């Protein structure tokens, strides 16, 4: 998508992947296997108020 000029980003990080929870509570992706699996396939597409039809 980047090659086509479409910006992507990750705006949501799973709780168990945040360093605080990982380090203090020992949360591991394998414990949350379903959410970890789904998270790996999610992207955030650009959306903003001045987005034109051409951008869409």
Q: Which residue blocks in the chain are alpha helix, DSSP H?
A: 19-25, 33-39
CA dihedral 38, 39, 45, 46 (to 10 degrees): 150
What distance in Å separates the CA atoms of residue 5 and residue 46, rounded to the nearest whole number? 11
Half-sphere exposure of 11 (CA within 13 A, CB side): 7
* Contact yes or no for 8/1 (Cβ under 8 A): yes
Residue 23's pLDDT is 93
Band of residue 1 on the pLDDT scale cut at 50, 70, 90: confident
Mean pLDDT value across residues 19-23: 91
2-18 pLDDT, tens per residue?
788 887 777 778 888 88
Rg (CA), the chain: 16
């Amino acid at each position: 998508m980047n090659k086509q000029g479409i910006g992507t980003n990750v705006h949501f990080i799973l709780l168990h992947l945040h360093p605080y929870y990982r380090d203090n509570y020992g949360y591991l992706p394998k414990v949350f296997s379903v959410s970890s699996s789904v998270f790996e396939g999610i992207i955030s597409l650009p959306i903003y108020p001045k987005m034109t039809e051409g951008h869409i």
